[in-house]
């Protein structure tokens, strides 16, 4: 089998990239070891985060670091045995999270986020996936006045610099919006611009079906077999349908990208933040109307198609270590005190790995030392959000168009790779 372009990885980034390339008249073969959207893209809070222009930084205050060091939180957990291996990533992550550097990163990151909803809208309409989308934002709820005031001040700043819309919620507003939420909160904040997805896996599958309707092919294969073709004019990978050759290839393998890049001589420092989710039925006649974050505790409750999805924060561990869903247990205990959750709907917690760079921005662009090799990974907490915008940028650059955004801030060369 031959094609113009191979796209390795059928998560939201890879599928979106394949669509945009196929739209431009290229023959594209999309390759994954599993079905589309069955790895990292499967489990998330289901948000297209138009408000998320400031990436999640590493805490700088000593007092905060000491609290995290106790390792008893919902929003972060770490494996002690994994720390020596994670130090190179974490130390650079901490360095880039300095206030001055973090502000500069946020400014460079913002254009991607600012186009996230409009680029998704294009693919949602084309794929007929509108029934999976809600356009009414999400909300944070606050237990203390200090956290409330700090978050409202940040929201006001973002509204001025990035035209992000929000609504302040009083306790009475919360009671009206969420009648079954317990009275434990001093107020809330509604981010109005983001969209939410009731079935993230379903959305990726809808995009895949659209890609296939354009003539694109999806095959099962092993991305780690990637190598330069026998003819020396391109690339090849082994699949269940045999060897597939193409002139160009895009690596959109998320946290598994380094399994290929290291073989090719690149040494990007990419860490992972593992995350978990579990679905619940509501107890009795309870209804959760909004995607809701318990800000001080660091977990999400989201009214998904399958049930109420509880998602945790970040787990710092070896990518391939066995599950350790202690954050789910911690979050469930707290969540039951604020909302009447019923029984669990999943046999076990789901776990996924978010691919993270130390400067909190994705790697998007042409490989420095190989012709025909392109990178599209490292989207951290915003893979779902940034899939379509990344796909369009990669496709434009690969086909000789001028990308609609300047991609230099996210180029691979920013690392000594």
Q: What is the pLDDT of residues 22-35, one digit of tens each?
A: 999 999 999 999 99
Tens digits of residue pLDDT in 342-386: 999 999 999 999 999 999 999 999 999 999 999 999 999 999 999
Sequence-separated contacts (24+) of 325-328 with Cβ below 8 Å: 325/276, 325/278, 325/349, 325/351, 326/77, 327/73, 327/74, 327/77, 327/276, 327/299, 328/276, 328/277, 328/278
Q: Can you give the CATH number for the domain in which 116 is found?
A: 3.50.50.60
Confidence (pLDDT) at 305:
97
Quote the number of domains for the chain.
Answer: 1
Confidence (pLDDT) at 80:
96
Confidence (pLDDT) at 264:
95
Confidence (pLDDT) at 232:
75
Range of the domain at 230: 1-57+97-132+195-270+357-417
Nearest-angstrom CA–CA distance, 355 and 382: 10
Residues ≥6 apart with Cβ < 8 Å to 220:
31, 32, 33, 34, 239, 240
Q: What is the mean pLDDT of residues 59-88?
A: 94
Q: What is the DSSP letter of 410?
A: G
Q: What is the DSSP letter of 119?
A: H
Residue 27 three-state SS: coil
Q: What is the mean pLDDT of the chain?
A: 96
Domain assignment of residue 257, yes or no? yes
Residue 381 backbone phi and psi in degrees, to 5 = -75, -5
Domain assignment of residue 233, yes or no? yes
Within 10 A of 79 (CB to CB), how many other CB atoms are there?
16
Strands (E), 143-294: 166-169, 187-191, 195-197, 217-228, 235-239, 242-251, 271-282, 292-294
User: Do 382 and 345 meet the contact criterion of CB atoms below 8 Å apart?
Assistant: no
pLDDT of 200 strictly over 70: yes
pLDDT of 269 strictly over 60: yes
pLDDT of 39 strictly over 90: yes
pLDDT of 417 strictly over 80: no
Q: What is the DSSP letter of 263?
A: T
Confidence (pLDDT) at 199:
98
User: Do 279 and 37 meet the contact criterion of CB atoms below 8 Å apart?
Assistant: no
Tens digits of residue pLDDT in 241-256: 999 999 999 999 999 9
Domain assignment of residue 295, yes or no? no
Q: What phi-psi label fits residue 400: left (phi over 0), alpha (psi between -120 and 50 degrees) or beta?
A: left
Tens digits of residue pLDDT in 99-148: 999 999 999 999 999 999 999 999 999 999 999 999 999 999 999 999 99
Nearest-angstrom CA–CA distance, 167 and 148: 13
Nearest-angstrom CA–CA distance, 271 and 113: 21
Nearest-angstrom CA–CA distance, 255 and 269: 11
Q: Which helix (H) or strand (E) holds 120?
A: helix 116-127
Confidence (pLDDT) at 231:
75
Confidence (pLDDT) at 2:
93
Confidence (pLDDT) at 190:
98
pLDDT of 188 strictly over 80: yes
């Amino acid at each position: 089998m031959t094609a113009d372009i191979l796209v390795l990885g059928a998560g939201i980034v890879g599928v979106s990239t394949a669509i945009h390339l196929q739209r431009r008249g290229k023959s594209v073969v999309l390759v994954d070891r599993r079905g589309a959207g069955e790895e990292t893209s499967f489990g998330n809070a289901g948000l297209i985060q138009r408000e998320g222009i400031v990436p999640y930084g590493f805490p700088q205050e000593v007092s905060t670091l000491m609290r995290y060091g106790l390792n008893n939180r919902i929003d972060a957990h770490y494996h002690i045995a994994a720390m020596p291996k994670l130090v190179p990533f974490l130390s650079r992550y901490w360095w880039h999270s300095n206030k001055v550097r973090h502000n500069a990163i946020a400014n460079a990151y913002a254009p991607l986020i600012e186009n996230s909803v409009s680029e998704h809208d294009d693919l949602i309409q084309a794929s007929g996936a509108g029934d999976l989308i809600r356009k009414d934002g999400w909300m944070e709820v606050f237990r203390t006045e200090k956290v409330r005031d700090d978050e409202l001040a940040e929201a006001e700043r973002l509204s001025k610099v990035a035209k992000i819309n929000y609504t302040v919620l009083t306790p009475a507003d919360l009671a009206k919006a969420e009648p079954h939420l317990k009275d434990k909160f001093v107020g809330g904040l509604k981010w109005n611009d983001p969209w939410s997805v009731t079935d993230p896996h379903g959305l990726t599958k809808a995009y895949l079906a659209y890609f296939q309707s354009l003539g694109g092919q999806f095959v099962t294969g092993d991305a780690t077999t990637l190598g330069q073709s026998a003819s020396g004019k391109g690339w090849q990978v082994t699949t269940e349908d045999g060897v597939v050759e193409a002139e160009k290839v895009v690596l959109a393998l998320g946290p598994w990208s380094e399994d290929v890049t290291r073989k090719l001589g690149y040494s990007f420092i990419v860490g992972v933040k593992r995350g978990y989710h579990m679905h619940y039925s509501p107890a009795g006649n309870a209804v959760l109307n909004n995607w809701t974050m318990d800000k001080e505790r660091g977990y999400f409750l989201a009214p998904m198609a399958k049930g109420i999805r509880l998602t945790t924060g970040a787990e710092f561990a070896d990518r391939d270590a066995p599950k350790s869903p202690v954050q789910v247990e911690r979050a469930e205990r707290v969540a039951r005190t604020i909302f009447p959750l019923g029984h669990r709907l999943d046999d076990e917690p789901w776990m996924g790995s978010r691919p993270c760079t130390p400067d909190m921005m994705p790697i998007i662009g042409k490989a420095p030392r190989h012709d025909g090799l392109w990178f599209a990974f490292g989207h951290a907490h915003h893979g779902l959000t940034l899939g379509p915008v990344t796909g369009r940028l990669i496709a434009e650059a690969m086909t000789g168009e001028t990308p609609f955004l300047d991609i230099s801030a996210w180029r691979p060369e920013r690392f000594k790779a």
